[in-house]
Amino acid sequence: MARDCYPAPVSGPKRELPVVYSPGVETNAEQSHATKGLVRLTMACNERCPFCNVPMEDYPERHTPEAELDAAVTRFAAEGEKTLTISGGEPTLLRDRLLALARRARAAGIELIEVQTNATLIDVAYATDLAEAGVTSAFVSLLSDLPELHDELAGLAGAFEPCLTGIDALLDAGIRVALNPVVAASTQARLPDYVDFVARRLPRVRSISVSAVQPHGRASSRPELLPDYAVLGPAIREARHRAEAAGIELLNPYCGVPVCVGWEDALERSVEAIEAREAGQRDESAPGVVNRGDKRHGPPCDPCVHRGRCGGAWHAYWAHRAGSGLAPTARVFDPFSGRPPSPLESVVDAQRLDGRAERDLAAADRPAVWLRLARLVRGDGERARRAGCTHLALCLSPSDLVVGEEAYLELLAIDREGRRGLPQHRLRVSLGLRPDTSPRRMVRALFAASAAGIGEVRLLSRDHRRWSSLLQGVERSLPRLDVALVAPPEPDR
């Protein structure tokens, strides 16, 4: 579940007892993707999941004081929240307090009350009490279709059967159930079997949030638990296929995986992509996934068409698995090639960035949004980014790339700004260079482009013979700059 992927705030060696409020998405498809409230009733738990992102040993104070819970419920209700998630620890350990909290939330006007639980302590009588108290849905950590794998990941022998009994009881009481498998290295290849198992054994369950071990809490010191996306990607594609046949909805939550790991053709089920798109539509922020800085893009992401709708992988994933399995499933087009963009890209053409171009950018609704400009002035990069632009294609002359020129200063500023922020928010710049009569000026311009962080330059000329030795020389001296000759629409003058 997206909202619960965030561990509680850390305050030095002693952690605050958390009542967190974080952006999230409902796992049940019929519910909205808006921000919701979450409270942790207790940090105590009867299980010992080795991956737990909020382990009880990190919280000296076990139970959240009632006054704090009350204040949170009152605040959520005042803010117009319609959903409250009650998590933990294991909230069903405090049986009566959980019922009382649900009743209070209901009385305050909160309509949907979700309990996050391992379900092992829930029997028919208690499930009925929960329903009567106002609990409408449960988010249950069923960790595998195999008892031994589930128990190992729950850190509790014999947890599997009580978990299933609890799920049955919740469903019998009329409480909707969504499952959270928290895919780990030991279970990644079995995801399609998990879906089959749910369809067979729990046919009333219609929703699975495919989260994967997030490297926080206990999992931060157990990187071997992280799945390998090279294995998980194909498993997710197969699981989605089987889920669709069984009428089960799978969701890729914040704690899930990058878009290219099996979700490339289902952005509408990928929480980060949904949130990035909605933020753009509300005109609240620049494009790109706003996360807590716990994920990032890496080198394979650079040409990816989904950069603006994907937050990349956990830092620990890049470190521990070296980005295994991360590769763009679709690359952005070459804006100077004369070929059309892919259906995943929008292109706004403008001589300069004016109000109309900004409006066109804001209206573009594809993962990659190009702005093709013939002139760059100070501030254009930030204005374009804020309007929704993810990729800038500039058609410039070598004289624009001279120290002190406005375009060059702006390119440096775009590069500086990009390095300062998250890689997923970086504006990617492609340069089309109009040829100059002087090869020396051309070489200088290419060095200037490289110094301004540009990785891709297209020399707009049909004259191969004239430029081939220059290109070879540049390849040797600037190996990280991708320079190629492309034919411009009109012959060189």
Considering only residues 164, 219, 401, 454, which one is a binding residue for ligand SAM as defined by CB under 6 A? 219
Considering only residues 36, 216, 297, 307, which one is a binding residue for ligand SAM as defined by CB under 6 A? 216
How many Cβ atoms from other residues are within 10 Å of residue 228's Cβ? 15
Binding at 180: pick from ligand SF4, ligand SAM, none (beta carbon under 5-8 Å per type): ligand SAM
How many residues in the chain?
A: 493
Binding at 51: pick from ligand SAM, ligand SF4, none (beta carbon under 5-8 Å per type): ligand SAM
Determine contact, residues 219/225, Cβ cutoff 8 Å.
yes
Considering only residues 27, 31, 53, 252, which one is a binding residue for ligand SAM as defined by CB under 6 A? 53
- Smallest distance, ligand SAM to C-beta of residue 456, A: 37
- The residue among 97, 90, 99, 87 whose CA lies nearest residue 19 is 87
Nearer to ligand SF4, 196 or 302 (CB): 302
Nearer to ligand SF4, 310 or 344 (CB): 310
Nearer to ligand SAM, 180 or 324 (CB): 180
Binding at 259: pick from ligand SAM, ligand SF4, none (beta carbon under 5-8 Å per type): ligand SF4
Per-residue CA distances from 334 to 57, 100, 154, 339, 482 (Å): 52, 60, 48, 7, 12
Q: What is the 3-state secondary structure (H, E, C) of 83-139?
A: EEEEECCCHHHCHHHHHHHHHHHHHCCCCEEEEEECCCCCCHHHHHHHHHHCCCEEE
How many Cβ atoms from other residues are within 10 Å of residue 403's Cβ? 10
Nearer to ligand SAM, 164 or 305 (CB): 164
- x/- binding map, residues 120-139, to ligand SAM, per CB under 6 A? -------------------x
- Smallest distance, ligand SAM to C-beta of residue 214, A: 3
- Smallest distance, ligand SAM to C-beta of residue 240, A: 19
Distance (Å, whole) CA 310 – CA 322: 18
- Smallest distance, ligand SAM to C-beta of residue 6, A: 10
Binding at 54: pick from ligand SAM, ligand SF4, none (beta carbon under 5-8 Å per type): ligand SAM
Considering only residues 180, 252, 390, 424, which one is a binding residue for ligand SAM as defined by CB under 6 A? 180
- Smallest distance, ligand SF4 to C-beta of residue 301, A: 3
Considering only residues 31, 83, 85, 118, which one is a binding residue for ligand SAM as defined by CB under 6 A? 118
Q: Does 272 bind ligand SAM (CB under 6 A)?
A: no
Q: Does 36 bind ligand SAM (CB under 6 A)?
A: no
- Smallest distance, ligand SF4 to C-beta of residue 417, A: 19
Binding at 45: pick from ligand SF4, ligand SAM, none (beta carbon under 5-8 Å per type): ligand SAM
- Smallest distance, ligand SAM to C-beta of residue 479, A: 40
Q: Which residue is nearest to ligand SAM (CB)?
A: 214
Q: Does 144 bind ligand SAM (CB under 6 A)?
A: no
Binding at 209: pick from ligand SAM, ligand SF4, none (beta carbon under 5-8 Å per type): none
**Residues in 192-211 at the binding interface with ligand SAM, rule: CB under 6 A:** 211
Considering only residues 54, 135, 205, 313, which one is a binding residue for ligand SAM as defined by CB under 6 A? 54
Residues at the contact surface with ligand SF4, assessed by CB under 6 A: 258-260, 297, 300-301, 304, 306-307, 310, 312-313, 326-328
Binding at 153: pick from ligand SF4, ligand SAM, none (beta carbon under 5-8 Å per type): none
Considering only residues 110, 213, 304, 353, which one is a binding residue for ligand SAM as defined by CB under 6 A? 213
How many Cβ atoms from other residues are within 10 Å of residue 117's Cβ? 27
Nearer to ligand SF4, 95 or 296 (CB): 296
Q: Does 52 bind ligand SAM (CB under 6 A)?
A: yes
- Smallest distance, ligand SF4 to C-beta of residue 151, A: 32
Binding at 300: pick from ligand SAM, ligand SF4, none (beta carbon under 5-8 Å per type): ligand SF4
- The residue among 449, 459, 456, 450 whose CA lies nearest residue 430 is 456
Contact residues toward ligand SAM (CB under 6 A) are 1, 4-5, 45, 51-54, 87-90, 116-118, 139, 141, 180, 182, 211, 213-214, 216-217, 219, 255
